[in-house]
Amino acid sequence: MGRNKLQLLKRGAVGLVGVTAILPFCYLLVTGVWKPSSGFTVQGYYEAFLASPKYLLRFWKSLGLCLCIVVGQLLVSIFGGFGFAKCRFKGRSFLFFLLLSIMILPLQVTLVPNYMVLEGMRLIDTDWALLLPAIFAPLGTFIMTQSLKAVPDEMIEAAELDGANVLKTLFYVLVPMSRSGCACVLLLSFMDGWNMVEQPIAYLKDFEQYPLIVALSYVPPQDNMVQLACCVMVLLPPLFLFLHFTQELAEGIALAGMKG
């Protein structure tokens, strides 16, 4: 009886957490199609998806920006992770320690230094001001380092015996065997880029360059139905990626927890 009560308590706790997590999404979906004065309506979705192109244009621009971040960070993470995981060079441990130190810094701490560097490069108020700091974010390199460490060195030796050079060994042997780590970097880098708020406000001066998630806060209060419809639009890409890469994300996070 005691064990049954404990199981019931666990299920109740999990159910409570699940309901608490899903309630905001239910509220978003319901209030987006229900207006107290007129009842059920899809006017907000019509305005966001069909009547006005400005919201869809921001959506596609934000999506393109995130895809560039994902591709860039994935490449940097693969090369950086390969260097830390499989290459032996002086100062490797110290450099990896610096990488971890930068990784744990809050975003707000790095905004001012990044702004000064970008201003020196004359990239403020351009898309590069959002792309470069995100592409060289250290989390992806850390994840790929841990993921590539799990690949046996014998695989590299076998590839070298077959005549493969470093790039072929990396992209035809190591990367396919680190699929979960790559998927984890892909998903997390996309989420970081998609949810950028402070960076566009700090680095961009032109409102027209703001991504959709930032521009939503400037929607007039009388257009709250449009705002809610755009919120659903914002949810779609990360929801699709999360549902598609759930297993890989869990495996990549588990590998990232391995000791170096």
Return the pLDDT at 255: 64
Q: Which band of pLDDT confidence, cut at 50, 70 and 90, is reported for residue 242?
A: confident
Whether the CB-CB separation of 48 and 198 falls below 8 Å is answered with no
Q: In sequence order, what DSSP letters do the residues of 123-180 get, joined into one string?
A: -TTSTHHHHHHHHT-HHHHHHHHHHHHTS-HHHHHHHHHTT--HHHHIIIIIHHHTHH
pLDDT per residue as tens digits for the range 73-112 = 999 999 999 999 988 888 888 999 999 888 888 888 889 8
pLDDT per residue as tens digits for the range 142-191 = 999 988 988 888 888 888 888 888 888 889 889 998 888 898 899 999 99
Return the pLDDT at 193: 92
30-34, 105-109, 122-126, 187-191: the lowest-pLDDT one? 30-34
Return the pLDDT at 257: 58
The CATH homologous superfamily to which domain 65-210+242-256 belongs is: MetI-like (1.10.3720.10)
Convert 226-256 to b/e letters by CB count within 10 Å (16 or more is b). Answer: bbbbbbbbbeebeeebeeebeebbebbeebb
Report helix, strand or coil for 227.
helix
Q: Is the pLDDT of residue 1 over 70?
A: no
Question: What average pLDDT does range 117-131 have in this prediction?
Answer: 92
pLDDT per residue as tens digits for the range 41-79 = 788 888 888 877 888 888 999 999 999 999 999 999 999
Whether the CB-CB separation of 15 and 219 falls below 8 Å is answered with no
pLDDT per residue as tens digits for the range 3-26 = 777 788 888 888 888 888 888 888
Return the pLDDT at 260: 47
CA 210, 214, 217, 223 torsion-angle sign? positive
The pTM of this model reads 0.85
